[in-house]
Amino acid sequence: MILECQECKKPIGYKGKKAFSHINCEHCGTTYEMKPSSWRIYMLFPFISVGISVFLSVNFITTEDIFIKAIFIFSVSYILYYLLCVFMIKINMIQYIKR
């Protein structure tokens, strides 16, 4: 659960979401957007996830095939980005306001 809808008081989930800048309540359709203070943190997630992916690729993938390393970087960075978003929402580092 990300948060509770202010209108219908039902939980808003994060399953199936691909972007977390704007979210909608599945029950009543109320739109929420990220607080301006949360954007600073949110904008770091792509850099952090790609940096970790490149580090892992350079240090732990022994093949010289650049194609395999690129696929590894893209897939791991996507997964890390999603995990960072969910984790930061759960610990309340990213907050939302009603639009």
* CA–CA dist 64, 93 (Å, integer): 39
Place of tokens 């808003």: 12
CA distance to 22, 27, 77, 98, per residue, from 72 (Å): 28, 37, 8, 37
Looking at the structure of the chain, the number of domains it has is: 1
Residues β-bridged to residue 12: 3
pLDDT in tens, 21-37: 788 888 888 888 888 88
pLDDT in tens, 33-58: 888 888 888 899 999 999 999 999 99
Type of residue at 98: K
pLDDT(2) > 80: no
* CA–CA dist 18, 4 (Å, integer): 19
- Residue 16 confidence (pLDDT): 66
pLDDT in tens, 71-93: 999 999 999 998 998 888 888 88
Residues β-bridged to residue 98: 32
- Domain residue limits at 72: 3-98
List Cβ neighbours of 62 (8 Å cut-off, separation of 6 or more). Answer: none
- Residue 1 confidence (pLDDT): 44
pTM listed for this prediction: 0.78
